């Protein structure tokens, strides 16, 4: 068997088979679930399901009915109770039977004016639910499509001139996906690069290097390490994405308002993969090279910060990219290799990127990824047996 | 045909010349002692042989030509800087390193179990390497060096951290390997081990070869005109042809006057009716030769 595969399998297994890795991989989804639960809890604390009252002296609502409760909703709506006059409502309010009462003004049909009376601030859901109750009863009896439009409002779809792309107002995925992919990318780069850097430094620190290079060629060793550790990062990423998909499938069962998951364009996924994969290889290989030049893992960590910083830069300019996706800054960020993996997909969500820009960016990234692998192999060969003295870039280019 | 052929290699790091025109050959089925004080250039020479470094000038031929990836599988190397994967279990670590030497995993597993048994490490095979003692790690490292039945073994200080029992076992293993036809290059500072094991030696000092040849020849070359004599009765204070008599606890060292032969002294002792229990030509120990050569070299430069 080719020794590349041995190194690759060794590097992959030694991380993935560890308990630490399983914890790391599970901690992220658990963290997200925790955050969501805390979010729910805070909403839960703000709502009050005590009924509200209303006084409808002008008979605006005909034969009022409660809004039907959807089975899968976690929060049931606040019931609205009719009162004949304000005195009766006030008595109920003071007795604590209702949390507030609403009085329709005489010219409600033209102004929509309603007065709310309460002793203390009502729950966050009270007003909304009463609003739903009123709308439901006002449109009741109209044809179904009209009800839907009146209640849900419009759904505008923006289509590009050539019709190749479109974006619906509710297609939040276009914004969410590149952002999410970007965050996952940064995490994955840091994980893989970190593992790789550690793996190289570790062999220098524990002095196994000399045995290794008398068994495997430095090129095979480095290639096996880079690919193995990249796959460790990718494994982590894939598991997280699986959790995300499961989360997105499961969440609407509990939160009906979220709607269903919008479809994702296959081409868009290709664009994300096309920029992020070579960038991933490029940065991870560079981190491996840093590991080979550095003499201690701590030193390597510090040097790695140099690479991770530019990747994050596009997030500072998100609004620029969103509102001016064809401006000089957006184009520049989407073509500069270190900022491209996040800027390009983000830009693609808001504009049609000319094909030549995409091709140049991806080509440059692929070339740089290969160059980075080659250079790190070379630096690795020079630096592998050197302790206490760093390898300078000049040396890396000069020596064989 | 020599398995290792080193021809006038030189290597500098910056202004410092680490190896200066070193040449030697290693034959199949011999233990070759590569000796020298700290910093003499032994490790650099070995690294050049193993193709870790390229020499500035000179040539190395290994198993009849340049180093290739296939040839790496036929070499076992125990470097001076010891190291194993500290976080792996002992057997996984050994199996990985053995497969890197071209063994298939099943075969490696089988042979490693045998070695672990032999080295008394079988009970610790599931332990992490970092939990093992220094001596145990040293033995594990030796397994890595030998498990793939190499044609060339290069070992740096094979006896460090070993107790006398394990030292003897390693010596036995090295002799078995030699009998199998393996070429063994051994670097050590323990001169008595070289005396006990090595067939030929090269001594490197300040990057240069200062001694090279069979152990017997080298010792003869440094033999002083002296005799070791042990007798049942006391020796007379003076003997013809002897310039000085040095008494030690167990014997006398007789320094011969110029032009005298050992036979003349023996004849003289016999004519005087002195009972001779031991009579031998005083050959210097390798330790003495080492110190003498290295010191003289230092003085002469």
| pLDDT digit string (tens) for chain B, length 301 residues | 889 999 999 998 888 889 999 999 999 999 999 998 888 888 889 989 998 888 999 999 999 999 888 999 999 999 887 788 888 899 999 999 999 999 999 999 999 999 999 989 999 999 999 999 988 998 999 999 999 999 999 998 888 878 898 899 889 999 999 999 999 999 988 888 888 899 999 999 888 888 899 988 888 888 777 888 898 888 888 888 888 888 888 888 888 888 888 888 888 888 888 888 998 888 888 888 888 888 876 444 4
Q: Tell me the β-bridge partners of B276.
A: B231
Q: How far apart are CA A64 and CA A71, in angstroms?
A: 21
Q: Are B25 and B1 in contact (CB under 8 A)?
A: no
User: Within 13 Å and on the Cβ side, how many CA atoms surround A163?
Assistant: 0
Min Cα separation B116/chain A (Å): 20
Residue A210: which of B73, B79, B85 has the nearest Cβ? B79
Q: Which domains does chain B have, with CATH numbers?
A: 4-220 (3.40.50.300), 224-282 (3.30.70)
Indicate the SS3 state at residue A366: helix
- Is the separation of the CB atoms in A281 and A219 below 8 Å? no
pLDDT reading at A307 higher than 90: no
* pLDDT for B113: 95
pLDDT beyond 70 at A388: no
Residue B36, by phi and psi: left (phi above 0), alpha (psi -120 to 50) or beta? left
State the smallest CA–CA distance between residue B76 and chain A in angstroms.
9
DSSP β-ladder status, A166-168 and A157-159: antiparallel
Q: Tell me the sheet residues that pair with A159.
A: A166
For residue A187, pLDDT beyond 50: yes
The pLDDT of residue B45: 92
- Residue B299 is predicted with a pLDDT of 43
Residue B83: list chain A partners with CB under 8 A. 203, 206-211
Q: Do A211 and B97 touch (CB under 8 A)?
A: yes
- What's the confidence (pLDDT) of residue A146? 83
* Pairing outcome for strands B208-214 and A101-104: unpaired
Task: Indicate which of B99, B137, B141 best probes the interface with A, i.e. most A CBs within 10 Å of its own CB.
Answer: B99
pLDDT for the residue numbered A47: 77
Looking at the predicted structure, is the pLDDT value of residue A260 above 60?
A: no
Least reliable range by pLDDT among A71-80, A355-364, B23-32: A71-80
How far A24 CA sits from the closest chain B CA (Å)?
Answer: 18
Cβ of residue A63 closer than 8 Å to a chain B Cβ: no
B79 CB neighbours in chain A (<8 A) are 207, 210-211
Interchain pair B69, A7: CB under 8 A: no
Greater confidence (B16 vs A288) lies with B16
Size of interface A-B (CB pairs under 8 A): 55
Indicate which of B13, B42, B50, B52 best probes the interface with A, i.e. most A CBs within 10 Å of its own CB: B52
The confidence score (pLDDT) of residue B300 equals 42
Q: What phi and psi, each to the nearest 5 degrees, are found at residue B50? A: -85, 5
Q: Are B101 and B148 in contact (CB under 8 A)?
A: yes
B14 neighbourhood in chain A, CB within 8 Å: none
The answer to whether the complex's ipTM is over 0.90 is no
pLDDT level of residue A277 (50, 70, 90 thresholds)? confident
Q: What is the DSSP string of chain B?
A: --SEEEEEEEEEETTEEEEEEEEEEE-TT-EEEEE--TTSSHHHHHHHHTTSS--SEEEEEESSSS--HHHHTTEEEE-SS----TTSBHHHHHHHHHHHTT--HHHHHHHHHHHHHHTT-GGGTTSBGGGS-HHHHHHHHHHHHHTT--SEEEEESTTTT--HHHHHHHHHHHHHHHHTT-EEEEE-S-HHHHHHH-SEEEEEETTEEEEEEEHHHHHHHT--SEEEEEESSPPPS--TTEEEEEE-SS-EEEEEPTT--HHHHHHHHHHTT--EEEEEE-PPPHHHHHHHHHHHHHHH-
Q: Nearest CA to CA, how far is B82 from chain A (Å)?
A: 6
Q: How many CB atoms lie within 10 A of CB A20?
A: 8
Rounded Cα distance between A309 and B253, Å, is 77
Model confidence, pTM: 0.72
Environment class of B165 (CB within 10 Å of its CB; exposed 0-12, middle 13-18, buried 19+)? exposed
Q: What CA–CA distances, in Å, run from B81 to A312, B43, B116, B136, B141?
A: 41, 10, 22, 16, 11
Match 């430095």 to its residue by tokens: A218
Which of A215, A382, A387 to mutate to probe the B interface, most B CBs <10 Å?
A215
Dist CA B241 CA B236 (whole Å): 13
Q: Are B4 and B183 in contact (CB under 8 A)?
A: yes
Compute how many other C-beta atoms are within 10 angstroms of the C-beta atom of residue B163. Answer: 10
For A90-141, the pLDDT digits (tens) are 888 888 888 899 998 888 888 888 888 888 888 778 888 888 888 888 888 7
Give the pLDDT score at A400.
44
Q: Which residue has the higher pLDDT, A261 or B61?
A: B61
pLDDT of residue A266 exceeding 90, the answer is no
Q: Measure in Å the smallest separation between the Cα of B211 and chain A Cα atoms.
A: 28
Distance from CA of A216 to the nearest CA of B (A): 7
Which of A14, A211, A217, A219 to mutate to test binding with chain B, by most B CBs within 10 Å of its CB? Answer: A211
Instruction: Say yes or no to pLDDT of A394 above 70.
Output: no
Q: Are B52 and A385 a contacting pair at CB < 8 A? A: yes
Q: Which has more confidence, B56 or A295?
A: B56
Residue A385 has pLDDT above 70, yes or no: no
A211–B99 C-beta distance less than 8 A: no
Which residues of chain B have a Cβ shorter than 8 Å from any chain A Cβ? 47, 50-52, 54, 69, 72-73, 75, 77, 79, 81-88, 96-97, 99-101, 104, 144
- Cα A314 to chain center, whole Å? 15
* pLDDT for res A174: 67
> Which of B191, B238, B239, B242 minimizes the C-alpha distance to B219?
B191
Would you state the pLDDT for residue B80?
80
Residue A192's alpha-carbon distances to A66, A227, A292, A331, B261, in angstroms, are 55, 10, 15, 28, 76
Q: Determine the topology of domain A51-153 in CATH.
A: D-Maltodextrin-Binding Protein; domain 2 (3.40.190)
How confident is residue A62, by pLDDT bands cut at 50, 70 and 90?
confident
Which sequence spans correspond to the domains of chain A?
Answer: 3-28+167-398, 51-153
B57 to chain A nearest CA, in Å? 15
Q: What's the helix, strand, coil split of chain A in %, to 5?
A: 65, 5, 30
CA torsion B58→B63→B64→B66, rounded to 10°? -50
pLDDT of residue B301: 40
Q: Which chain B residue's Cα is nearest to A9?
A: B96
Looking at the predicted structure, is the pLDDT value of residue A156 above 80?
no
**DSSP letters for A305-329:** HHHHHHHHHHHHTHHHHHH-TTSHH
Long-range pairs, B160-165, Cβ under 8 A, ≥24: B161/B134, B161/B135, B161/B137, B162/B135, B162/B138, B163/B135
Name the closest residue on chain B to residue A400, using Cα atoms. B54
């Amino acid at each position: 068997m080719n020794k590349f595969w041995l190194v690759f399998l060794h590097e992959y297994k030694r991380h993935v088979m560890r308990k630490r890795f399983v914890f790391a991989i599970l901690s992220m989804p658990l963290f997200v679930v925790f955050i969501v639960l805390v979010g729910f809890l805070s909403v839960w604390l703000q709502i009050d399901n005590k009924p509200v009252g209303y006084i409808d002296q002008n008979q605006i609502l005909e034969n009022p009915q409660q809004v039907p409760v959807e089975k899968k909703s976690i929060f049931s709506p606040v019931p609205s109770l009719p009162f004949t006059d304000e005195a009766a409502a006030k008595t109920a309010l003071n007795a604590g039977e209702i949390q507030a009462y609403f009085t329709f003004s005489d010219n409600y049909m033209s102004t929509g004016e309603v007065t709310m009376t309460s002793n203390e601030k009502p729950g966050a859901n009270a007003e909304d639910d009463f609003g739903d109750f009123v709308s439901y009863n006002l449109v009741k009896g109209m044809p179904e499509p009209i009800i839907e439009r009146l209640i849900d409002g419009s759904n505008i779809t923006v289509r590009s001139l050539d019709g190749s792309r479109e974006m619906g107002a509710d297609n939040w995925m276009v914004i969410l996906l590149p952002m999410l992919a970007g965050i996952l990318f940064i995490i994955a780069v840091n994980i893989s690069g970190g593992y790789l850097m550690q793996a190289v430094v570790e062999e220098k620190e524990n002095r196994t290097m000399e045995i290794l290079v008398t068994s495997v060629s430095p090129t095979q060793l480095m290639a096996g390490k880079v690919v193995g550790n990249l796959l460790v990062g990718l494994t982590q990423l894939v598991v997280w994405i699986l959790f995300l998909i499961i989360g997105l499938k499961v969440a609407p069962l509990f939160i009906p308002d979220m709607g269903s998951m919008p479809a994702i364009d296959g081409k868009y996924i290709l664009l994300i993969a096309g920029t992020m994969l070579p960038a991933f290889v490029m940065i991870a290989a560079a981190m491996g090279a840093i590991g080979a030049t550095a003499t201690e893992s701590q030193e390597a960590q510090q040097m790695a910060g140099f690479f991770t910083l530019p990747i994050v830069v596009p997030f500072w300019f998100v609004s620029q990219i969103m509102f001016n996706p064809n401006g000089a800054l957006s184009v520049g960020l989407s073509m500069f290799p270190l900022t491209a993996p996040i800027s390009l997909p983000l830009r693609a969500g808001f504009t049609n990127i000319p094909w030549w820009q995409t091709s140049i960016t991806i080509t440059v990234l692929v070339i740089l990824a290969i160059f980075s692998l080659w250079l790190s192999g070379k630096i690795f060969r020079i630096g592998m047996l050197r302790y206490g003295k760093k390898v300078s870039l000049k040396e890396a280019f000069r020596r064989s | 045909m020599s398995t290792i052929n080193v021809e006038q290699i030189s290597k500098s790091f910056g202004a410092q010349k680490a190896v200066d025109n070193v040449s030697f050959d290693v034959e199949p089925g011999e233990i070759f002692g590569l000796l020298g004080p700290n910093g003499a250039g032994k490790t650099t020479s070995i690294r050049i042989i193993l193709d870790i470094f390229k020499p500035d000038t000179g040539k190395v031929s290994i198993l009849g030509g340049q180093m290739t990836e296939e040839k790496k599988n036929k070499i076992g190397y125990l470097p001076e800087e010891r190291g194993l994967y500290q976080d792996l279990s002992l057997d996984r670590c050994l199996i990985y390193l053995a497969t890197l030497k071209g063994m298939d995993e099943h075969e490696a597993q089988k042979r490693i179990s045998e070695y672990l048994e032999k080295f008394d490490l079988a009970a610790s095979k599931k332990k992490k390497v970092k939990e093992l003692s220094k001596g145990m790690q040293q033995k594990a490292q030796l397994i890595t060096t030998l498990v793939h039945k190499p044609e060339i073994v290069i070992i740096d200080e094979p006896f460090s951290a070993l107790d006398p029992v394990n030292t003897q076992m390693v010596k036995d293993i090295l002799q078995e390997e030699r009998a199998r036809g393996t070429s063994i290059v051994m670097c050590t500072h323990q001169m008595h081990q070289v005396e006990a094991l090595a067939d030929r030696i090269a001594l490197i000092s300040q990057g240069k070869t200062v001694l090279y040849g069979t152990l017997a020849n080298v010792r003869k070359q440094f033999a002083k005109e002296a005799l070791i004599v042990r007798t049942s009765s006391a020796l007379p204070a003076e003997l013809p042809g002897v310039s000085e008599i040095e008494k030690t606890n167990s014997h006398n060292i007789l320094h011969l006057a110029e032009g005298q032969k050992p036979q003349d002294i023996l004849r003289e002792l016999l004519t005087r009716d002195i009972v001779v229990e031991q009579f031998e030509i005083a050959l210097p120990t390798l330790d003495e030769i080492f110190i003498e050569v290295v010191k003289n070299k230092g003085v002469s430069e």
